[in-house]
Structure 1
Amino acid sequence: MIQRWEMDDIFYGFTGNWIMQEAVLASGCVDLFACDMNCSLPLDPAYAKKYKFKLIPVSDLVAFEGIDERLDYIPEKAEEQAAQLLQMAIDNFKERRQSVEPVTDLPVKEAIVGFSTESILEALGGTLDPLLDAIKNGTIRGVAGFVSCTSLRDNGQDVHSVKVAKELIKRDILVLSMGCGNAALQVAGLCSPDAKELAGPGLKSICEALGVPPVLSYGTCTDTGRIADLLFAVSNALGGVPIPDLPVIVAAPEYMEQKATVDAIFALALGLYTYVNPVPTVTGAPNLVQLLTQDLTEVTGGLLNVDTDAVQAVEALAAHIEAKRKKLGI
C-alpha cells in the first residue's frame, strides 16, 4: 500500500466489494462475521447457519431475523470490544472446524492501492508537471474519476464496471477508482502494474516510466471527496483553469447506494461530465431529467449521461474529453 497501513499477517488485504461476502462466508473459513451498517445482507443468517460462524451485528442500524446476540460499537471501548469479538471467534472455531470443510488455496492477486493526491505528487517528484505535461502533449488524453458501487440489476457482478474501465484505459484515459467499483477493478487485475498491457500506448508509457498501474486505487466510496483535492491542484497548476474546462470525467457504471447519488450530485456541482448506469429511477420526473441531462451545462457546466452500453458510454466520455482538450488548445 502507498498510504495508510502496511500489509502484515493481521491485515492481509481484502477480498472484493460487498457482494463478495457471500463467497467469503461460503468458503467455510470464517468463525465470526462482524456486521456493520451499509453492506450486510439479509441472507447472512442462512450462511451463518450452514457454515457455522457467529453473526454479530456491531451497529444499531443492523438487525437480522433470528439473531439476538450483538455488540454495538462504542468508540471509547473499541479495543475491549475487538478483544470480545476475537474471543467469540476463537470459541467458535472448534464447532466450525468439526462440521465444515473449508475451501482453501483460492487464487490471490496483488494490487497497488492507497493512492492520494499527496502520494501521486510524491511519485511525480513533488510536482504535477509530469502529469500535466503528459496531458498537454496527449500521452494521456484525460482523467476519469471512477466512483462506483456494484450491482446485479442489469449485469453480472462488476461486469459493467470492469468493461468501462478497460475501455477507458484503452483510450489512454487514466482512471482514479473509488468505492466498491474500485474493489472490482482490483480483483480484475487492473490495479496491477501488469495491466499496463491493456492500456493505450500513451498511458502504457506513463505506467512504465512511473511503475504504476493504469488504474490508481483511490479508496472507498467515502474517500471520494479527496479526488476534488487533485482537481483543484491540477486547476491551480494550470493557472486557474475552471474545473468544468478540464479534460476530466466521472463514471459510476454500477451505482446503487445513496452515497453514489451524493457523489454524482457532487460531481455535477463541480461541473463535471458524469456517466451513470443503471438508469436512475427519476425518469418519471421530466423536469429533473431535463435539468440533469441538458440544462445543467448552463448552470454548473456539468452534465449527466446515462447509457447501458459500456462501449457507447466510453465513446461519449472520450468525446467529451477531446472537446475539452480542443477548448484548451492541447
Structure 2
Amino acid sequence: EFLKASLENYVKKLEVSIKILRMEQRSGLIRARLRGAAASTGQVITFLDAHCECTLGWLEPLLARIKEDRKAVVCPIIDVISDDTFEYMAGSDMTYGGFNWKLNFRWYPVPQREMDRRKGDRTLPVRTPTMAGGLFSIDRSYFEEIGTYDAGMDIWGGENLEMSFRIWQCGGSLEIVTCSHVGHVFRKATPYTFPGGTGHVINKNNRRLAEVWMDEFKDFFYIISPGVEEVDYGDVSIRNALQGIWRQLQDFPWMLMFNGLLSPIPGGIFSPLFLLQIRNVETNQCLDNMGRKENEKVGFFNCHGMGGNQVFSYTAEKEIRTDDLCLDVSRLNGPVLMLKCHHLRGNQLWEYDAE
C-alpha cells in the first residue's frame, strides 16, 4: 500500500531530488543494485537495504573516509531495529565481519591486533575482513575498476563475501566507520521465496565466489558443504579474467594472513592444521554436530564420508572446532559440549597423538 503512486507522492515532498527506478521483472537485489549504480552519476555510490533508518550525520563520516582514500570501502555501524516493536538498539563498535568455511557471514569480536593498530582510538575506522553487505559506500570509479557486482549471481546471498574478498585482493580496504550509524530491521525469516529454492540460489552464488576468488581454500568449502560441487554455477570466464588482472597484487591466502585469519597468527579463526572425521573404529560411528547449536552436546552418527556435519577442524591451538564452536568437556566422563571458543585451552585443549 506504500508503493507505486504512494511512494512517488512521498518522495516528491523530500528536499533532495529522488529518482525511482523500477525493474521490469523480478531480478533480485544484485541486479537491482547494478541497475541503480549504472544510472547514478555521483562520485560515490551508497547502497542501503530498503528496511533501514539513517541517523543524523550518518553519511558525512563515510564520505570523509573515501575522500582520504578512494579505495577504502566503508560501512556504518549497523544498529538493530526490532522487527516486532521497531525498538532501536545501538550496534557495537567492538565487532567486525568474518566468515566460516560454509561461506556464511559471521560477526566476531574485534581482535586485539586491530585495537593496537588504532592505538585505542575508537573513533578510527575498523578494518574488517568482510562486510554484511547491505549498507556501504564506495567510490564509483573504484567500484567499476574492480568489477561492480557479479551479474551471474542470483537474488542475494554470497555477494557480500564475494565483494569483500575482491576488495582486499584488488588493492582496496574494507572498513567500518564507527562515527556512522544506520538502523536495520533484522527479520527472523525472509518473507519471499527464491526461484529454484533458497539453497540452490545461495549454493550457486557461493560456487561462483569460491571458484574465482578463494584459490586452493575453496576445498575447505566443498568438504564442509557436501553436494555443492554438483550445483551448476554458470560461466565465470569474465570474472576469472578480472581476477587475473588483479592477481599481481594479492591472493586469497594473503587476504587471510593480512586480516589475521590464518595460522601462524595465534587466535586466527581460520587456522586448521587438519580437517578431521573423528571415527570410533569399533562401531564405525563418527562424531557429528547433528546441526545442533551452542551449549548443546555433540553427537554420534553412522560415518557417511560426505563431510558436512561430520567434518571438524583441529587447530594450531589444539582445539577441535565445528564452525566457530569448540568441543569442550568439563568432567572426566563428559558430556562433550559445543561452546564458544575461548582460546584459553583448559577444557578445550585436545592432544592428538599420530601414533
TM-score by length of 2: 0.24
**Which structure is higher in helix share?**
1
**Which structure is higher in strand share?**
2
